[in-house]
Amino acid sequence: MTDRTLTGKRVAILATDGVEQVELVRPRAAVEDAGAVTTLVSLASGTIQAMNHDIEKGDTFTVDELVADVSPADFDALLLAGGTTNPDKLRRDPAAVRFVKEFVGTGKPVGVICHGPWTLVEADAVRGRTLTSYPSVRTDIRNAGGTVVDEEVVVDRGLVSSRNPDDLPAFCAKIVEEFAQGRHPAAT
């Protein structure tokens, strides 16, 4: 029997060139298998180039919407994948940073993995939150007022985080659960 707990939910996947392919594909499949509709939101129209292990070109993925043209009101949840260059490009784009900051401010659930928290840091969205990430991002999270733990999956008021692709089974299960739960009124 297929889990349809996310039927009717709209999930934004914010990504650009350099996204770690498995961190885009597996969470997207998990939420779609649970009934959600996903929208790949990016910085420019066309396609984005995914990477495998940051250095090998993977597949390309068609962009559905531009981040400058969407609003958090358009979606029920947000996914932020890693790869080192993907979040580094996102955190330098004012429209992407604004979208993430506003989205987190709604209290709607967000899933973030690996280097993805860099965009959250830039959006001042980790202050007072507990999360995990790839080891090289942890100092940035602490410097931005967040608490870092080294666990497979961490949930803090709808913010679901994991460290790396090895954590994807737990991450995917937890984002489906949190996305089904919806808004967290206590989120800041």
pLDDT surpasses 60 at 1: no
pLDDT at position 186: 54
**What tokens were used for 121?**
């840091």
Contact 171, 27 (CB under 8 A): yes
Q: Which residues pair with 20 in a beta bridge?
A: 51
Task: Kindly state the average pLDDT of the residues 71-76.
Answer: 98
pLDDT surpasses 90 at 187: no
Q: What is the mean pLDDT of the chain?
A: 95
Residue 184 confidence class, pLDDT cut points 50, 70, 90: confident
Residue 20 confidence class, pLDDT cut points 50, 70, 90: very high
pLDDT at position 164: 97
Ranges of beta strands (E only) in 92-158 are 110-113, 130-131, 147-148, 153-156
Residue 183 confidence class, pLDDT cut points 50, 70, 90: confident
Distance CA(164)–CA(171), nearest Å, equals 9
The helix (run of H) or strand (run of E) holding residue 118 is helix 117-122
pLDDT single digits (tens) 79-90: 999 999 999 999
pLDDT at position 3: 66
pLDDT single digits (tens) 134-173: 999 999 999 999 999 999 999 999 999 999 999 999 999 9
Contact 108, 74 (CB under 8 A): no
Contact 92, 98 (CB under 8 A): no
Contact 71, 100 (CB under 8 A): no
pLDDT surpasses 50 at 188: no
pLDDT single digits (tens) 117-132: 999 999 999 999 999 9
The one-letter amino acid code at 120 reads L
Contact 179, 6 (CB under 8 A): yes
pLDDT at position 2: 55
Does residue 172 carry a catalytic annotation? no
- The residue annotated as part of the active site, out of 40, 104, 114, 137, is 114
pLDDT surpasses 70 at 34: yes
pLDDT at position 91: 97
Q: Which of 68, 67, 4, 5 is nearest to 39 (CA)?
A: 67
pLDDT at position 185: 64
